[in-house]
Amino acid sequence: MSLCVPAIRAMEGQRGEATVESLIGNTPLIRLRRVTQHLSPALQVLVKAEWFNPGGSVKDRPAWNMIRVAEEQGLLTPDKILIDATSGNTGIAYAMIGAARGYRVQLCLPANANAERKRILRAFGAELILTDPREQTDGAIRKVQEIVSADPDRYFYPDQYNNPANWQAHYHGTGVEIWEQTEGQVTHFIAGMGTTGTLMGTGRRLKEYNPSVRLIAVQPDSPFHGLEGLKHLQTALVPGIYDPTVPDEVMEVSTESAHAMARTLVREEGLFVGISAAGAICCALKIAESITSGVVVVLAPDGGSRYISDSLWEEEG
C-alpha cells in the first residue's frame, strides 16, 4: 500500500464521537497586528497556530500519519514497542496516540530536553532513554538505531527523519489547510527545519497550487543553539526526507533573536509561542519588510507553555 495517504482526520467512533486522533489538524491562522504596524497595509503576516493540536504541537500530524500507515501495512501491532528519537514534541505525539491506542512507547531524547517535555512524556506513560546532550538529537537517533538493531522483531521504529509518511501528513493536511484558509492568496510560507517534514510536505503542496509561492526554510545560525527541535543542517545528520531543491531560500536565526521575539509576541500580540516558532516569525517579519504586498504564512510548531522553565522567562531586575 502506498504511504501517500490523507492525514487530516482520524477514525471516529461508531456513533460519530470525537477521538484524540480526529482532533488533529485544522488549526487556525492568526494575523499579527501590532508587530506589523510599520508594514504596508497590503501585507498580511499570518501564524499557523499548531499548538491547537490535541498534543500541543505540529508533530501530532506526522506522528499520527506514521502510526496509521504502519498499522495499515501491518508493521505496528499490539505486541510491538513503538520506539523513536525525538527532541520532545514528536515523542509527546507518539505517547499521546500510543496511550489512546494501547501501544507501549519508548523514546530516546537528549538528557537536556526541558523539564516540561519530560514530565508530559512520562504523564502519557512513555519510557524515556536519555542520551548525551552534547550530541543533541543526533545522539538520540544513534541510540535508537543501536537498540533496534539488537532486537528488530521487538520494535516498530517509525524513523521520523526518514519516513515519507512524515512529510505526506503535511502534503495532505497542512498545505491544503493553508491554501484554503488564505483562499489561495498565500505568497510566502516559512517554517523551521528539524525533521524537515513540515517544509517538505507543505511546500510541495503549495507549489502544486501555485509555483510562485516562495518557500523559506529556517535553521539555527550555529551548531550550538537553543532552538529546540531545529537542526543546523550543515553540521547535523541530514534527514533522509530532506530535499534541498524544495525551499527557495534558507534563512538563519539566532537563539537570542528568537528569545527576544518570543517575549515581544506574548506581550504585544498575546501569543505565547515556543522558541522555534519565535525564530521562524523573526524570519517571516524580515521577509515581510522586504515586500510591499502579499500573504506571508509562518508555521508556529508549538506554544510557549512547554518552555516556561527556560531562562528567557525569568523576571528581569
Cell numbers found for residue 305: 507553555
Q: Can 311 be counted among the known catalytic residues?
A: no
Which among 48, 57, 231, 276 is annotated as catalytic? 276
Cα 87 to the chain's mean position, in Å? 10
Per the listing, cell 490535541 goes with 54
Rounded Cα–Cα distance for residues 59 and 36 (Å) = 28
| 294: alpha, beta or left? (left if phi > 0; alpha if psi -120 to 50) | left
Rounded Cα–Cα distance for residues 1 and 290 (Å) = 45
Which among 59, 118, 143, 231 is annotated as catalytic? 59
The answer for residues whose C-beta is within 8 angstroms of residue 249's C-beta and 6 or more apart is 214, 215, 216, 217
Alpha helical stretches, state H, 130-254: 136-150, 164-172, 174-181, 197-209
Q: Can 276 be counted among the known catalytic residues?
A: yes
DSSP class of residue 191? Answer: E
The answer for residues whose C-beta is within 8 angstroms of residue 79's C-beta and 6 or more apart is none
- Please give the backbone phi and psi of residue 127, each rounded to the nearest 5 degrees, phi first: -95, 125
Active site residues: 59, 276
